[in-house]
Structure 1
């Protein structure tokens, strides 16, 4: 497996110039992901609230580059957003939409504001991305959280950073893709698709193949327990 990994990382090094361009594009960008459960009987109302928030984000948050309201199974809802920089993220969390969610959280969110929203915020930096294309045609999204194997955080970051250019070049049905670093050992991937065929092509694509090959060494739990088990699929309710 060491030989396989070194061969893989060597191939990634050959894409350094393109990858650096994608990394520069992502420089200073930050992201947040908040997964929440609707309070009992409030799933539809919570989904309606999040859908209606998109125009407010557009009107009041110029530093929020992308904002997605998402709905998953079993009363699960989520928000994913990309910010121009840390200051823009701060403006978002002190903004109109965050204030409105705070006011309504006791009714809409299981656990209310503190336990249901704030406790579930995952902040990250953007390692690389595929720039958004035709995003308003997207209907479905995926968020995958990854934990690096012991001592492999920087190697996993290297792979994910190089992957942005590969997604751009090989996955026309992936309408947006971002690799995220939460901390030294925790990472995530977020992507959106027009339909399930785009997701299927992505998971059969070059980057997924690279990650699958490297995961026994780089990802805690390997491919099945460390990647596949952490795939969260969502319907997209609204986009800014």
Structure 2
């Protein structure tokens, strides 16, 4: 059951918006391979503004994600692609709805 999550907001460097979007899309297979990550979203918030939202059943899953392959890839490219360091917020899931057809 989804109990906790992460909300990460990112602002692309000017001229790096397309590269940032490609980078975020490329992380999807990594998220699929994380056992503790229940849902993972890469989102576009507006021009040059992006985010990652993911959910976990427990703190162990969230911590594994924070030290996993996506975090490593983001750390390696953050200065190149993003104007400011990623803003990482730990969140609690209050309610969800099941996926519909």
Output the CA distance in 1 between the equivalents of 2:68 and 2:93. Answer: 22
Say if 2:5 is the partner of 1:31.
Answer: yes
RMSD, aligned α-carbons? 1.3
Gaps of 5+ in 1: 1-24, 135-240
Q: 1:77 matched to which residue of 2?
A: 50
Q: Which runs of 4+ in 1 moved over 3 A?
A: none
Gaps of 5+ in 2: none
What whole-Å deviation, never above 9, does each CA across 1:164-189 have from its counterpart, x for those lacking one?
xxxxxxxxxxxxxxxxxxxxxxxxxx
Q: 1:16 matched to which residue of 2?
A: none
Q: 2:32 matched to which residue of 1?
A: 58
Say if 2:89 is the partner of 1:122.
Answer: yes
TM-score scaled by length of structure 2: 0.92
Output the CA distance in 1 between the equivalents of 2:58 and 2:99. Answer: 17
Paired residue secondary structure (1:130):
coil
TM-score scaled by length of structure 1: 0.40
- The structure with the larger Rg is 1
What whole-Å deviation, never above 9, does each CA across 1:86-138 have from its counterpart, x for those lacking one?
11000001000110110001101112xxxx21xx112111121112335xxxx
Write the mapping of 1:90-169 to structure 2, written as runs, cut at 5 A.
Answer: 90-111=63-84, 116-117=85-86, 120-134=87-101
More helix by share: 1
- Number of residue equivalences: 101
